[in-house]
Every structure is written in structure tokens, then in C-alpha cells.
Amino acid sequence: MDSALVKTFLWLGAVLGWFALAAQYYIYVSSGVLSVGEATIRYFSFFTIDSNGLAALAFTSLLLAPSSWLGRFFGHYSTLTAITVYMIVVGLVYNVILRSLWHPQGLQWIVDELLHSVLPSLLVLHWLMFVAPERLQWKSIPVWMLFPAVYCILIMLRGVRSGFYPYPFLDPDTLGYQKVYYNIGAMMALFFVLAFLLVGVSKILRKRVLTKH
């Protein structure tokens, strides 16, 4: 494995990730529509922010402290695959469903492209090049599903109290709870399908690597 290439990916992921996250936070808080506290809570209510935060943290810890407990956690192939699944969903949902709903300009456009297209693509490339041939297990998939499942539960519980739902397909005030639960089920199914796909690809690539040796 080319260590220089690995470091290039890690630097790109860390720098672009933290820039996009910081810029999005600045845009969200500086609008002045909400208090800083409420704006901060709502900022972290977006699955896009949470997933990109995990990705940026993974890149940074692997770059700066790979031997630390954080570096070992994020360096685990199962952890990296889980984050890749989350980021693929971020890219798919935004580009297929949400992109047509608004047209950001200037810095917001740059941030949107980084969070929803550039960084998910970078995660996929990183996974294919450095993670995919490693030993991944089917039994890891249910564990990977805990993050999006807990996210949906927390968002719905807080939404009942605050009236704020970060995505239109999660808003029961507009769609009704039956439709929202259907959307959550469809989204969880997408997570499962992508997870199974990545593990399947991993096993095929690993078999080819072992055959060559």
C-alpha cells in the first residue's frame, strides 16, 4: 500500500471535511433566525452533518494519531465501512431527492457540494482502495444499523417537542406519521442494502487478492 497515497486521502478528507462542517455551522448560526443554542442543536440534527463529522474525525485521527484509541477505532475496517455506508446514503438522498428542492448560492453551494458529493465520493474511493479487500463480516451489519436507527428515533422524539424536523420526508406535520414511518423504513432498507453490497464486494475482492497470492 502506497503510504503517500493514503496520507493524501487522509489530508483531503480531514481538510475538506472540517472546512465544510465549520462553514456550514457558520452559515447556520450567523443567519440570526435562531438563538445560538437552538441553531447548534438543529445543526447537529442533520444526518449529513453527523455522518460527515464521523468521516472528518476518522480521517483526522488516522492522519494524526493512528495508534491512539480513537485512531484504532476509526482505523478498524468495520468502522470505516459503516461510515462509508452512511456517506453513500447522504450522497444518494441529497442528489436524488433533495437537490431539486433548493438552489444554494456562493459559499452555501460550495459547502453543499462538499458535504453531499465530494466527501461521499472521497469516502467511497478510500474504501475501494484501502478497505474493501479486508476481512468484513456479515454479522457486523446489524451493528452498523444502530447509528441511523438511533438517529431517527431521537429526531422524531425531539420533533414532537420542538416541531423541527431536519428533512421534509421526516415531517409528520406535513406528511402524516404513516408516511414518515414508511420513509424511515425505506431509508433503513437502503442502509441494509448498501451494507450488504459493500460486504459482498469486499468478499469478492478479498477472494481475488488471496487467489493471486
Q: Where are the domains of the chain?
A: 3-212
Instruction: Give every residue of the chain whose pLDDT is below 50, as ranges.
Output: none
Q: What's the confidence (pLDDT) of residue 213?
A: 53
Q: What is the per-residue pLDDT for 209?
A: 65
The pLDDT of residue 32: 82
pLDDT given at position 207: 77
Residue 135's pLDDT is what? 83
Q: Let me know: does 54 contact 22? Beta carbons within 8 Å.
A: no
Q: Which of 63, 67, 71 is nearest to 14 (CA)?
A: 63
Tell me if 16 sits within 8 A of 122, measured CB to CB.
Answer: yes
**Phi first, then psi: what are they for 137, rounded to 5°?**
-115, 145
How far apart (Å, rounded) are the C-alpha atoms in residues 88 and 120? Answer: 6
The Cβ of residue 47 has, within 10 Å, a number of other Cβ atoms equal to 20
